[in-house]
A and B are shown apart, each in its own frame.
Chain A
Amino acid sequence: MATVDQPKTATPRPEGYEAPPSVLEGDHTYATVTDKISGIVLTRKTPLSWFLIFGVGFSLMMVFFGAVGYLLLKGTGIWGINVPVAWGFAIINFVWWIGIGHAGTLISAILLLMRQEWRTSINRFAEAMTLFAVACAGMFPILHMGRPWLFYWLLPYPNVMSLWPQFRSPLVWDVFAVSTYGTVSLLFWFVGLVPDFGTMRDKAQNGTARVIYGMLSLGWRGSASHWHRYETAYLLLAGLATPLVVSVHTVVSFDFAVSVIPGWHTTVFPPYFVAGAIYSGFAMVLTLVIPIRAIYGLEDMITRRHLNNMAKVMLATGLIVAYGYMIEMFMSWYGANNFEQYMSRNRMAGPYAPIFWSLILCNVLTPQLLWFKRFRNNVVVLFLIAIVVNIGMWLERYVIVITSLHRDYLPSSWGMYHGTIWDYATYAGTIGLFLALMFLFIRVLPMISIFEVRSLVKTNRRPSHTE
């Protein structure tokens, strides 16, 4: 929106900006944009593929509930964890999901501040993804506790024993970081939706839909002063969310960096965790956007330009992550600390070496294809690379958590870790939960910000705005 009055030549460009293809192709008017996006929810009949994917997600979600039920019944012993490896899939998945979440906030907040108009047609979608990813992530720290029903002891609330959380613990930082992150993402998402709720309200034929959208729209009527405050608030939110998104994964990385375990106790963690988060986040956005774009024929709104830019961001963050790995290895050698040195050796040549090397393959080597335009523009290749990166990021967390723990200081207590079927079930379960929520969202809410795309129409029509 703010881009309206910006001459294109004057806007600061993201690296690798190219003029065409435009961010909104085809000859769209305000009306066509509105109809197309709202139509997906209101008028068009739901495509079969929606039912397929949602069905898969839903059944996996049931698996999740089963796994959690058994977990609460028996205890964390049903998982593969042990001493020394007391953290397993739960923490790996937690970090993985949280990381994925970051793309949404990045797209909606940081790109907004950088006035990247190509964000507009994917931010709604990315924010939703953030929300659901955080929802999945948030469950793991609770489930992995020995006595989950006491999770509220991590919150500061007055009690007769006047017992409080132990604020030096990174886990408490997590509680605050993740809950703040969840809340802010929700607000951001909702605020963005309000004007579109108004549109839906006005376009809905079905009475109940009218009422529901009407309520959600808070009676939005697009008054000039409202828009003005709205934009101020939105900008402020963006300004707040930007440091937040950086802080969240920094805090997550503290879970490891603050400890004394070789392979965890590393100062490079915060930056490369954040980079990794954005990396995986964009990978996930691509993984979702590419099929959905095809299903709903949104190629004109989510154009090759979007995919291209996201690919570039992946490439950049991927390189940062690779740098992170490098520095980690370098420091463990340069630090001349034999525990650290052994840790690196063990990662590369120990029992978990295959995982380490496949991580390198997925996260460092594969993305190098993105240097080439023809791969960036090839939707299929892009989709595959995105999937590979998602896997790679999961493996990264596996390597960090497991290989550091399974051989730490005293060789007498070294051990091995293997996920059990319940570990895998819980993981797959959250993926199901995520898919189910995602596709419900697509079904009932405008997955692209209608009013923001309208402003794109405007710019298309009139490249530069004059008084």
Chain B
Amino acid sequence: MTSDKKQLDLTAIRERLRAQTGRDYWRSLEELADTEEFRELVHREFPRQASEWTDEVGRRGFLKLMSASLALAGLGACTTQPLEKIIPYVRPPEQLVPGKPLFFATAMTLGGNAIGLLAESHMGRPTKIEGNPSHPASLGATDAYSQASVLSLYDPDRAQAVTERGRIRSWTSLQVALAAEIDTLKTRRGRGLRILTETVGSPTLRFQLQELLRALPQAKWYEYEPVNWDNRREGTRLAFGRPMSFHYRLDQARVVLSLGSDFFCSRPESVRYARDFTARRRARENPSDMNRLYVVESVPSPTGTIADHRLPLRPSELGRFAQALAARIAGGQPGDGETPGEHSKWLDALARDLSANRGQSLVIPGEFESPEVQRAAHQINSALGNIGKTIEYTPEPDGGRTSQSDGLRELAGEMGDGQADVLIILGANPVYAAPADLKFAERIMKPRLRVHLSPYLDETSRLCHWHVPETHFLEQWSDAEAFDGTVTIVQPLITPLYESRSAHEIVSLLQGRYRSGYDSVRDYWRSQQPGADFEKFWKTALNDGVVPGTGSAAPMAATSAVAPGAQRPQQGRTDTQGDRGEATGGPERRQTGAASPPGSTTQPRPGQRAAAPLVALQSPAQKKSDLEVGSTARPGGASLELIFRPDPSVYDGRFSNNGWLQELPKPLTKLTWDNAALLSPRTAERLGVRSEDVVELRYHGAAVQAPVWVAPGHADECVTVHLGYGREYGGKLATGAGFNAYRLRRSDTPWGGPGLEVRKTGERHRLATTQAHWSIEGRNIVRTGTVEEYQKNPHFVHEKEHGFGPELSLYPEYEYEGNAWGMAIDLNACLGCNACVVACQAENNVPVVGKDQVIKQREMHWLRIDTYHEGNLDNPKTVHQPMLCQQCEKAPCEVVCPVAATVHSSEGLNDMIYNRCVGTRYCSNNCPYKVRRFNFLQFSDKETPSLKVMYNPDVTVRDRGVMEKCTYCVQRINAARIEAKKEDRPIRDGEVVTACQAACPTHAIVFGNINDPNSQVAKLKKLSLNYSVLGELNTQPRTTYLAALRNPNPELGTE
């Protein structure tokens, strides 16, 4: 993309699209505007990529740094398991967990909520993460983050020793230093001690901190995480007068409306939501029962892509939309909050559909939408009688807690005026992630002693006296609470690789009595189990990955006021909550809004309209401000709305040194190694910018430069930026990638708002997308339909086929006795959440290649997710198609290999023999699906010790010059075969679970023996929705797809 190319002519594109008839998919704007490419060619014809060996920061950096690192040091420890007794996950029923090695139940915490995991341990080395079937947030599946966590463990960029002002110190020297401090603090009851943690999801840690605060009443503990749930809490507070935590029962909902919520990906329990939702999404059995999803959102999201109806609205509009809908549901007549005519068709249809499904409907407020939107959602849900049915509330354990943003602002203030003398930061990275207006970087210099616990030497560590490496969750003892209160004991699979400590240990140090994490956790739980046989309890807890008796918090009717803390699983929680009340000088004080942010429009004071269970519609004042918001951001106005979102790959920045996640194509944009300013085609047109133009974003005085990415389906007149990029310290991969959106962030409007100015700089920034942006050219590759179509003609999927069947093949059919492996992928269930992609990468030792190589289209993912848009540029329909080796029975790749390096196995697998491959790449050329990957250079790192440890020993690490591709996880098939042989029985259905299948939250991927008519996969393949991609080539793929079905509301039509 060269700068002198002419501006994208979007009107022309629209014309073309209007002209097109039928279901025609396109992928990108550059391509749609054909003329573009002519011009482009002239520039492209010259060897621009000649810089191959100079600019390889990504891959080269990745390798160099790792080998340079001291990883070796830790490795001695790698194969030794912790001294404490940990319990292997007992061999589970074979339908659930694949693989030979031992599995240990543990959990990963994100945003204070846990997802239960099983970590695969080879000879004491955790190599792979699976979901824990008995954990409510996982049900055996995982998200991309937990899949990638293994790489974070072995990341050689991790801090490896305790340092003071950058000089390596012994652990004891820190103990000594702190001990002295603690004594002085004790004398003044902890005055001046400030502790900053991330959202604490560990009951034990919470208990420890409260103990500490009891001992040092003057001390204060703040929680802050850049991606926090303040608005969620605030919304419930507005609606019910007290903060509630709540979760959804999507399996109970027939009609779901998301008000800006990406509930399939945005929360740790999203995996569970996806599972529940798609359970009712599969229309095959009884189409009439299929659920319907409306999504009103500003930023295109995976949730939006699976919606039956999607309406892009910018946040201010979305707010009004929510109010209007609430009004209609409540009163039936159009609400006064609504500008007449606006989206009335939508509102009418929605209101009618929702009301028609009382108790079976659900309105989900966006986690990051304003509290008013949240409140509206709760009101609608209660009006529809959904409470207790499709949504369940439980009161917050410590309702007094102030919002994290307010808390951080308070802390910043205290640091500023010197009240904070000793600052202990556990895990968080505020210098990088705090809203810019808090000037954290300056103020943090005030406290006399600053101690930072974090996995990397990051921006905050640089400004602290002491830095203590933090243990990875696979290295530490802890516990973690899930969305419904289920607690998992986090048990380590490996002793810490480096001189690292867990938060439990640091806190215990502050308490003046150092205890290992193990002791802290055990002691806490012993206190929770009076009388009961603790060892037995402990064993069960570790084994199942779920603490018995916790979880599935009893639902409560929202209207009935319930004392906070009642009906909590453990009484321990309630009294800790009480303790906290005393310790921090009482939540009531905060509730009175002492720390109210100045000029906050989106965050009304805590405690304001505290009482009434269900507050009536918003006050005129509130409405007015809403309208202002609207007017300031009308099209044509200079100012746009700014939207912050956690990055789908690196979240809030904590994963930004994780190569797997950095190279993970983000849903919909398929961007890697970068974040961008997303805006809608129309807005881009108005501003005269194109993708990869660098613009200056100016928001309330702060400014950053960001490359533009034009995102079809994005709401107009607003710009989305993703957090987590533009790191300065914290790892070779983290630093330098993308721009830092936190620079724009303000503590009073953490998720953005109006007042953004965009200025074109004229520069360009090359973005690496794994999908060259092209149109589907009316090809019959992804197939979708509506339930009506399906009911009318179950075979509609096959109508457009212009192929012929195997009966016309020139070649004899091969007989596959015994097992014949096959796969079926349900496009209806695929959300494009990427979990399978990372799972595959982790399982199969797929290398990371770096941005430069991705630009050259050399990424190595064996499994990729193709995303196709359909129709209208401003609000397209989208389908995801996981694409992996189709294991064709008449494989074109095999015939052209001159050395028989890829041949068919007796079970119909398209085997790849790396040793034999000479790298002619003919097979890749001749693969119609382009799923083969070639090691153009030495991509896999065979030097770095810590990576050697991480590799899956069952899978060859490929060398330069060798072709590779999806193997259907043949190593897992063989493991199962060995088991079956030992027991002298055939391999059972579901005994072999591929890595992608295991990770998939929605069971979209099903694998098995197609020779067995009773196998799940065989049944799926019999369905009329089943089709093979490019079947007309008669390659007879073993992987087939089930067409996606949508359930549009007849009133709104399919657009």
Chain B associates with chain A? yes
User: Which A residues are CB-close (under 8 A) to B771?
Assistant: 412-413
Q: Say whether B615 faces chain A, with CB atoms less than 8 Å apart.
A: no
Q: Say whether B807 faces chain A, with CB atoms less than 8 Å apart.
A: no
User: Which B residues are CB-close (under 8 A) to A145?
Assistant: 918-920, 961
A411 to B918: give the CA distance in the assembly, Å: 28
The interface bits of chain A over 399-411 (1 if a CB of B lies within 8 angstroms of the residue's CB, else 0) are 0000001011111
Contact of B778 among A169, A338, A424 (CB under 8 A): A338
A235 to B777: give the CA distance in the assembly, Å: 56
Q: Which residue from chain A places its CB closest to the CB of B856 in the assembled complex?
A: A82
Are A169 and B47 interface neighbours, CB within 8 A? no
Contact of A413 among B868, B930, B1030 (CB under 8 A): B930
- Enumerate the 5 nearest inter-chain pairs by beta-carbon distance, A residue then B residue, closest first: A146-B919, A146-B961, A77-B936, A77-B937, A413-B930
Are B919 and A259 interface neighbours, CB within 8 A? no
Are A76 and B922 interface neighbours, CB within 8 A? no
Min Cβ gap A80→B in Å is 6
Q: Say whether A350 faces chain B, with CB atoms less than 8 Å apart.
A: yes
A77 to B961: give the CA distance in the assembly, Å: 9
Q: Say whether B935 faces chain A, with CB atoms less than 8 Å apart.
A: yes
Min Cβ gap B1044→A in Å is 16
Q: Say whether B552 faces chain A, with CB atoms less than 8 Å apart.
A: no
A242 to B1035: give the CA distance in the assembly, Å: 38
Are A410 and B930 interface neighbours, CB within 8 A? yes
The interface bits of chain A over 66-84 (1 if a CB of B lies within 8 angstroms of the residue's CB, else 0) are 0000000011111011111
A154 to B25: give the CA distance in the assembly, Å: 43
Among A20-28, A33-41, A160-168, A212-220, the one that faces the other chain is A160-168
B residues neighboring A (CB under 8 Å) = 25, 27, 34, 37-38, 40-42, 44-50, 52-53, 771-772, 774-779, 781, 853, 856-858, 864, 866-868, 881, 883, 892, 895-900, 916-922, 924-926, 928-930, 932-938, 960-963, 1029-1030, 1033, 1035
Min Cβ gap B235→A in Å is 39
Are A78 and B52 interface neighbours, CB within 8 A? yes
The interface bits of chain A over 414-449 (1 if a CB of B lies within 8 angstroms of the residue's CB, else 0) are 111011111110000000000000000000000000
Q: Which residue from chain A places its CB closest to the CB of B48 in the assembled complex?
A: A418
Min Cβ gap A177→B in Å is 13
Contact of A414 among B772, B853, B895, B936 (CB under 8 A): B772
Are B864 and A86 interface neighbours, CB within 8 A? no
Given the interface pairs A77-B937, A83-B934, A351-B37, the reply to whether A170 lies near B896 with Cβ below 8 Å is yes
Q: Say whether A153 faces chain B, with CB atoms less than 8 Å apart.
A: yes
Given the interface pairs A81-B936, A83-B858, A153-B918, the reply to whether A354 lies near B38 with Cβ below 8 Å is yes
Min Cβ gap B50→A in Å is 4
Given the interface pairs A169-B895, A260-B892, the reply to whether A421 lies near B50 with Cβ below 8 Å is yes
User: Which B residues are CB-close (under 8 A) to A82?
Assistant: 856-858, 936
Contact of B776 among A144, A408, A411, A422 (CB under 8 A): A411
Given the interface pairs A74-B937, A163-B916, A169-B895, the reply to whether A411 lies near B926 with Cβ below 8 Å is no
A174 to B117: give the CA distance in the assembly, Å: 53
Q: Which residue from chain B places its CB closest to the CB of A346 in the assembled complex?
A: B777
Are A83 and B961 interface neighbours, CB within 8 A? no
User: Which B residues are CB-close (under 8 A) to A353?
Assistant: 38, 41
A74 to B960: give the CA distance in the assembly, Å: 9
Contact of A260 among B34, B50, B867, B926 (CB under 8 A): B926
**Which residues of A in the span 111-141 have a Cβ within 8 Å of any Cβ on B?**
141
User: Which B residues are CB-close (under 8 A) to A86?
Assistant: 921-922, 924-925, 934
Are A76 and B936 interface neighbours, CB within 8 A? yes
Are A147 and B918 interface neighbours, CB within 8 A? yes
Contact of B866 among A352, A405, A408, A412 (CB under 8 A): A412
A138 to B930: give the CA distance in the assembly, Å: 28
Given the interface pairs A165-B900, A260-B928, A420-B50, the reply to whether A351 lies near B44 with Cβ below 8 Å is yes
A residues neighboring B (CB under 8 Å) = 74-78, 80-84, 86-87, 141, 144-147, 150-151, 153-154, 163-166, 168-172, 175, 255, 258-261, 338-339, 342, 349-355, 405, 407-416, 418-424
A145 to B961: give the CA distance in the assembly, Å: 7
Are B929 and A163 interface neighbours, CB within 8 A? no
Most buried by B among A169, A350, A413: A413
Are B866 and A410 interface neighbours, CB within 8 A? yes
Most buried by B among A144, A147, A353: A147
Main secondary structure of the interface of A (DSSP, over half): loop
User: Which A residues are CB-close (under 8 A) to B781?
Assistant: 409-411
User: Which A residues are CB-close (under 8 A) to B899?
Assistant: 153-154, 163, 165-166
Min Cβ gap A115→B in Å is 41
Min Cβ gap B757→A in Å is 35
A420 to B1033: give the CA distance in the assembly, Å: 34
Are B1033 and A418 interface neighbours, CB within 8 A? no
Are A407 and B774 interface neighbours, CB within 8 A? yes
Are B857 and A418 interface neighbours, CB within 8 A? no
Min Cβ gap B336→A in Å is 48
Contact of A87 among B772, B867, B925 (CB under 8 A): B925
User: Which B residues are CB-close (under 8 A) to A75?
Assistant: 935-938, 960-961
Are B857 and A150 interface neighbours, CB within 8 A? no
Are A146 and B928 interface neighbours, CB within 8 A? no
Q: Which residue from chain A places its CB closest to the CB of B860 in the assembled complex?
A: A83
Q: Which residue from chain A places its CB closest to the CB of B962 in the assembled complex?
A: A146
Most buried by B among A339, A351, A407: A351
Contact of A420 among B49, B857, B960 (CB under 8 A): B49
Are A259 and B925 interface neighbours, CB within 8 A? yes
Q: A84-B924, A259-B925, A353-B41 are in contact. List 8 more A-B contacts (CB 8 A).
A: A144-B921, A153-B899, A169-B896, A171-B898, A416-B857, A418-B45, A418-B47, A421-B50
A76 to B959: give the CA distance in the assembly, Å: 13
Q: Which residue from chain A places its CB closest to the CB of B902 in the assembled complex?
A: A166
Are A172 and B898 interface neighbours, CB within 8 A? yes
User: Which B residues are CB-close (under 8 A) to A354?
Assistant: 38, 41-42, 45
Q: Which residue from chain A places its CB closest to the CB of B899 in the assembled complex?
A: A153
User: Which A residues are CB-close (under 8 A) to B922?
Assistant: 86-87, 169, 171, 255, 259
A165 to B41: give the CA distance in the assembly, Å: 40
Are A351 and B41 interface neighbours, CB within 8 A? yes
Are A411 and B779 interface neighbours, CB within 8 A? yes
A146 to B922: give the CA distance in the assembly, Å: 11
User: Which A residues are CB-close (under 8 A) to B44?
Assistant: 351, 416, 418
User: Which B residues are CB-close (under 8 A) to A168?
Assistant: 895-896
Are A409 and B896 interface neighbours, CB within 8 A? no
Most buried by A among B774, B776, B881, B883: B774
A367 to B611: give the CA distance in the assembly, Å: 91
Q: Which residue from chain B places its CB closest to the CB of A262 in the assembled complex?
A: B928
User: Which B residues are CB-close (under 8 A) to A77?
Assistant: 52, 853, 858, 936-937, 960
Q: Which residue from chain A places its CB closest to the CB of B929 in the assembled complex?
A: A410
Q: Which residue from chain B places its CB closest to the CB of A144 in the assembled complex?
A: B920
User: Which B residues are CB-close (under 8 A) to A409?
Assistant: 779, 781, 928-930, 1030, 1033
User: Which A residues are CB-close (under 8 A) to B900?
Assistant: 163-166
